[in-house]
A and B are shown apart, each in its own frame.
Chain A
Amino acid sequence: MSIVEAKNVKYAYKSKDEDGKEKEPVFALDDVSIDALEGEFIAILGHNGSGKSTFAKQLNALLVPDEGTVFIAGMDTSEDEHTLEIRKTAGMVFQNPDNQMVASVVEEEVGFGPENIGVPTDEIWERVENALNAVGMYAYRESNPSRLSGGQKQRVAIAGILAMLPKCIVLDEPTAMLDPKGRRDVLEVLHRLCDEQGVTIILITHNMEEVIGADRIFVMDKGKVVISGTPAEIFSNVEEMQRLRLDVPEVTKLAHELKNRGIKLRDGILTAQELVEELKGCNIIAQQ
């Protein structure tokens, strides 16, 4: 079943020029259609200004499409009476971990969401404990968030969403402000949530390495979805990706270059392991 279904979404930020006249609208989203099945790991790739963050806000009813429709678990985001239910179903984690924390104690921070939706006290505690365990931050439940590292803060933010028991988590560049270790920790948590608890993950990023493990990828450019498919399909198209000013993983690039030099390799090699296997098949690696 589709948990997220965006159809032909158009959205423009309206701005006025100096005379107060409305400028020609620039479409941040132009005919975007993206869907996600329950339990899928979806990645949306794009560089700055591609409209990916605008799209993320559509999924949480923070923005409503000008044209087209967005359905979250069958609910139309443009209908006000569904807003709370939609935000409960599709939680959202933002880029800057400091700017999305309300409380000064980790457990209170995680409890903020359930409090807002009126969960009874005993159940809040249970949810907070489960959510913090799921992201491996239970030991820090009484700490002050401002004393945590970036990766830890972001995991607490994820726990804050998890405690609302969402079916889907939308993450808008959650790793952009993190160091490599924090980035790995956050990604690991996301994959675990997807695999073990069946939470649909929609990860918005511009980092190639992060999307390799995704089920499907949508690449956005200038408000449009330009390519979509599995990671192998996407990255087999190295020239197209470079035209869109998006990098491909180093290993894929190497494989692509080797192929251009006449070595017969298949397209869409994503990991070093795969490349080694493939090269073995070509009998190029010297026998030791």
Chain B
Amino acid sequence: MFKDITLGQFYPADSVIHRLDPRVKLAGTLIYIITLFIGKSFFMYIPAGVFLVSVIILSKVPPSFVIRGVKPIIPLIIISAVFNLILTPGNALVSFWIINITSEGIYMAIFMIVRLLFLITGASILTLTTTPTKLTDGIEKGLRFLTVFKVPVHEIAMMMSIALRFIPILVEETDKIKKAQMARGADFESGNIIKRAKAMIPLLVPLFVSAFRRAGDLAMAMEARCYHGSEGRSRMKPLVYARRDFIAYSIILGYLALMIVLRVFGI
């Protein structure tokens, strides 16, 4: 079940999207997410969809890989769709007991599903095409101004990139522990939700213990390699904007402008 998580994993390929400056991709993702929330009608999703699909094609990441990343989020999507379905007031189509299913509710539910799907896919494209190190560099450099307010930008960025790097390792470990516990008779599949949640305890405790041990080891290894924060650190791959980055910025801004115009004219 954990093998499918592609969110936060890098897919190596040689594409224009991979080569873009991470700051461009971060800004692009942020703008893309904002535009998803300014949209009011389905029509707004056409340009968003075109934008997303063209980015996926340009990135050379196989669509199946992108779709796999959405799978683990499906329960979340279903829950929010159900809430929208039963809690939106309006013309009741079906009503029984305290539940009213309205046409507005159906509309909102579908709207929410599409929005979340677009959101997750867009965000996973960022991490699929950007190595954690570049992502860190992008965040660090793009948000450097926050250090004025005493925000430890470098440290936060470093923590993020390490967290991303350890996802596959912890996933593998979870599978291993799960199998080991199953071999000892643990049952993860049967029973109701509460029973199943309780069954996760023998899985989570060893996982946490080992994660802490790994963290200790890693901290020591980093220290042994002279890591001492951002001070006096140089860069192997410094971020320098190229021409394609400015082109990408213009495209992103153009897209944002289009969405704003559509919104203002209320289409």
Chain B min CB distance to A102 (Å): 6
Interface membership of B155, Cβ < 8 A: no
Query: Which residues from B are CB-within-8-Å of A94?
Result: 217, 220-221, 224
Query: Which residues from A are CB-within-8-Å of B161?
Result: 102-103
Taken residue by residue from 155 to 169, chain B's Cβ proximity to chain A (1 for < 8 Å, 0 otherwise) reads as: 000000110110011
Given A96-B217, A111-B236, A128-B236, decide whether A116 and B228 contact each other with a Cβ distance below 8 A.
Answer: yes
Interface membership of A27, Cβ < 8 A: no
Interface membership of B235, Cβ < 8 A: yes
Complex contact B234–A115 (CB within 8 A): yes
Chain B interface: which of A16-24, A84-92, A271-279?
Answer: A84-92
Interface membership of A262, Cβ < 8 A: no
Query: Which residues from B are CB-within-8-Å of A105?
Result: 10, 12, 131, 133
Number of A positions contacting B (CB below 8 A): 41
A88 CB contact (under 8 Å) in B222, B226, B233: B226
Interface membership of A26, Cβ < 8 A: no
Bound: A142/B10 CA distance, A: 12
Q: From B14, which residue of chain A is reached at the shortest CB distance?
A: A142
Chain A min CB distance to B138 (Å): 14
A119 CB contact (under 8 Å) in B165, B223, B234: B234
Given A115-B233, A124-B236, decide whether A108 and B225 contact each other with a Cβ distance below 8 A.
Answer: no
Given A87-B224, A105-B133, decide whether A121 and B234 contact each other with a Cβ distance below 8 A.
Answer: yes
Chain A min CB distance to B168 (Å): 5
B contact residues vs A (CB 8 Å cutoff): 10, 12, 131-133, 161-162, 164-165, 168-169, 214, 217-218, 220-228, 232-238
Closest 7 CB pairs of A and B: A100-B221, A111-B236, A99-B217, A116-B226, A92-B224, A113-B225, A124-B236
